[in-house]
Amino acid sequence: MNGQYASLLIALPLLGAFFVPLIKGFGEKAIKTYVLIITAIQTGIAAWVFREVYSTGKPIIVIAGGWKPPVGINLYLGHFAALFVLIVALASFLMAVFNFKAIEVEPIDKYAMLFLLLMLGATGMISTGDIFNLFVFMEITAITAYALTAYNKTGEAAEASLKYIILGGIGSSFFLIGVALIYGATGTLNMAQIAQLAGHIDPTVAQVGLALIIFGLAVEAELFPLNAWAPDAYQAAPHPVTAMFSAFVVKAGLYAMARVLYLTSAVESWHNVLRLLVVMATMTVVVAELSALRQRNVKRMIAYSSISQVGLIALAFALGTQAGVDAGVFQMVNHAIIKALLFLGVGYAAIQLGGAEIENFRGLGRRMPVTAFGITVGSMAAVGIPLFNIFWSKLRIILATIEVGYTWAAFLVLGASVVEAVYYFRLIHAIWFEGDGERISESVPLMAIVIALVILVIAIGIYPNYVWSVSQKAGSDIFNVANYIKNVPLMGVGA
C-alpha cells in the first residue's frame, strides 16, 4: 500500500472530531461508541504503519500536497514515530472504553471532540517534520488539554486549568522565540534542513535558542520548574484524561524535546544545553518523589510518581549517548503501560468508592480484587522491582548515566527510588491489610483491559528482549541524525 495513506493518522481524528455534532442527536451512548470506533480505526492504521516501518526498516515520509520539503511540510514516520503513534492510538482506544464508565458530566459531545483532538495533537507532535508545525500541534494538544482539565466544571478543575494555561502560555511564547532565533540563523523551519545547517549556526544564538525551546517544551514535558500545573491537572481532570496525559501527552513533549535537541547536535555549544537538561531532569525526579511522599490523594500521588519517571526519561535523553536514548525510549514505552494501568485502576476505584483519598482505598483488596491486583502490580512495577518491566529500563538508564560520568545524578535518582518504594508500599498496605467492606461487582471490559496490561507488564519484565530491540531501533532513529537528513527528500534550496 502507498505510504501516503499514513496521513490518515492526522486526517481521521480531525474529521472524526468534526462529525461529532452529527452523532449528538443519538444520545450519549452513541457518542461514546463513535469515539471508540474512531480510536479503533486509528489503532488499525497505526498498527499498519508500525508493521510497514519495522518490516521495511525505512521511514514513511508523507509529503503534503506534493510540495517537497523544505517548501512543503512533511510528516516523518520513522521507527520512533511509528512506535509512539501506535502507543498513542492504543492508549486512546483503551481510555475510550473507560469513557463508558467514567464520564457522566454533560456535554459529552464536546468531551468527545476534545478527546479526539487531544489524540490528534499528540500524534501530530510525534510525526511532524517541521518545527513550526510542531508548535501548531503542541498548541492543539495544549488547548484541548486545558479544556479537558476544566471539563468537570468544579472550582478545582478551573483552578488547575488556569495554572496550566498560564504556564503553557509562557512556555509557548518561549518556544516561539526559540523558533524565531533558529529561523533567523538558518532560514528554514524544516527539521532535516535545520539539522543540515546546524553546524553553521553561531554557538551563542544556538545555545539561547535551544535553551528557550527546551524551556518551552518543558511545560508539556513536565520538567521542574515548569511542572507546577501537572499534579493539579492530573487530580482535577476526568480519569481517562489523566491516564492520557500521563501515557502520551507528556511523551509527545519529551519526544519533541529530544528530537530538536539531537537534530542540533552539530552545534558547538550543544553540551552546555545538555548539562542544563541533566540538572532540570534530576531536580524533577528528586522534587517530585519528595512531594509524592506527603500526598493523601492517591491520584495526586501517582501524578507525582509519573512526573518523577518522566524526569528519569529526560535524564536519559540528556546524556547525549546512544545507550541513554535507547534506555529513555524503553522507559517511555514501559511508563506508558504502567501509568495507563495505574490511572485506569485508581480512576475506576475512585468512581466506585466515591473518592481518591487514601482512606477510600482501605480494604480495596476485598471489595474489588481485580482492580486492586492491577494497582498492586502497577505500583510494584513503578518502584522498579525485578521481573517487572520498569526494572530493566531504570537499570539501563542508571548504567548509561554512570557511563557518561554523571555519578551524582545516578545517586540522586537511586535515592529517589527508595522514597518511591515507601509511598507505593503504603498504598499497597492500605489496599490489602487495612479495612474491610462488601464486595463490589467490577465491570468486565475494564477488568479485561487491566488483566491485559498486567500480562504485558509481566511479559516485558520476564522477556524484555523484543521491546528492547524495538526501543533500540526507535532510539537510533532519534540519535542518528545523519540518517534522518538522508531520509527526507530535500529539494536543493538554500542548502
Partner 1 sequence: MIHISAFYFGSIALVLIGLYAVLVKKNILKMLIGLSIMETGVNLLLVSIGYISGRSAPILSEGITPDKAVDPIPQALVLTAIVIGVATTAMALSAVIVLYRRYGTLNVEEIRRLRG
Choice between 99 and 149, CB closer to partner 1 = 149
Q: At its nearest, how many Å lie between partner 1 and the CB of residue 235?
A: 7
Q: Per-residue contact track with partner 1, 131 to 160, x per CB under 8 A?
A: -x--xx--x--xx--xx--x--xxxxxxxx
**Interior CA angle at 242 toward 237 and 245, to 5°?**
120
Q: Which of 39, 42, 74, 172 binds partner 1 (CB under 8 A)?
A: 172
Strands 74-77 and 60-63: antiparallel
The reply to whether 105 sits near partner 1 by the rule CB under 8 A is: no
Backbone angles phi, psi at 325, to 5 degrees: -65, -45
All cell numbers assigned to 460: 516485558
Choice between 114 and 457, CB closer to partner 1 = 114
Choice between 43 and 161, CB closer to partner 1 = 161
The reply to whether 170 sits near partner 1 by the rule CB under 8 A is: yes
The reply to whether 161 sits near partner 1 by the rule CB under 8 A is: yes
Choice between 73 and 397, CB closer to partner 1 = 73
In contact, 86 and 106? CB cutoff 8 Å: no
C-alpha neighbours within 13 Å on the C-beta side of residue 249: 33
What is d(CA 426, CA 445) in angstroms, rounded to the nearest whole number? 29
Q: Per-residue contact track with partner 1, 208 to 247, x per CB under 8 A?
A: -----------------------xx--xx-----------
Q: At its nearest, how many Å lie between partner 1 and the CB of residue 17?
A: 15
The reply to whether 458 sits near partner 1 by the rule CB under 8 A is: no
| Best CA proximity match to 132, nearest among 69, 79, 199 | 69
The reply to whether 184 sits near partner 1 by the rule CB under 8 A is: yes
Q: Which of 48, 54, 100, 183 binds partner 1 (CB under 8 A)?
A: 183
User: Helix count (H) and strand count (E) of the chain?
Assistant: 22, 2
Q: Which of 2, 25, 66, 294 binds partner 1 (CB under 8 A)?
A: 294
316 Cβ contact list (under 8 Å, min separation 6): 324, 325, 327, 328, 331, 397, 400, 401
The reply to whether 176 sits near partner 1 by the rule CB under 8 A is: yes
Q: At its nearest, how many Å lie between partner 1 and the CB of residue 291?
A: 7
Residues that bind partner 1 (CB under 8 A): 132, 135-136, 139, 142-143, 146-147, 150, 153-162, 165-166, 168-170, 172-173, 176-177, 179-180, 183-184, 189, 231-232, 235-236, 291, 294-295, 300
